[in-house]
Amino acid sequence: MKNHTRSLETRAGPERVWRIWSNTSTWPHWNPDVTAISLEGGFASGSTGTMTTRAGGTHAIRLEDVQPGRRFTLGTSPAPLSTFHFTCEVAPSGNGSRISQGVSMSGPLGGLMSAMMGERMAAGFEALLDGLKKEAESQ
């Protein structure tokens, strides 16, 4: 599975970034793609919910591999025969953090979807990461 990733440096510390990232009620404020999100349960592996995006409508989501203060993966199946895995990470870097988001695709059509859409989707992560950076640095 190919992972299409973008990263950005911020002056905000990892704990500040994680506090914003793990509070999904903030996502529509700084993420230009998300209009609404709801989770059943806390921000933990196995929690499910829905997310509405500007481009793709509303989809079921599931949190996977949540490592508090460090990383999480959000899984969703917006297209037939494929699952998209969005991996979000924060790590200490210099006087702040390095924030990253990537997408990989699995399932019978995952490879085809990755080849067709992966890099274009990753290019959109730049605006998302910039929004997260601005939000974290403003608090």
pLDDT exceeds cutoff 90 at 7: yes
- pLDDT (tens digit, 9 = 90+) per residue, 100-124? 999 999 999 999 999 999 999 999 9
How many DSSP H helices and E strands does the chain contain?
3, 7
CA neighbor of 121 nearest in space, from 80, 91, 87, 71: 87
- pLDDT (tens digit, 9 = 90+) per residue, 47-64? 999 999 988 899 999 999
Rounded to two decimals, the pTM is 0.94
Rounded distance, CA 112 to CA 125, Å?
A: 20
Question: Which structural domains are found in the chain, ordered by start?
Answer: 4-138 (3.30.530.20)
Rounded distance, CA 135 to CA 139, Å?
A: 7
Rounded distance, CA 37 to CA 135, Å?
A: 18
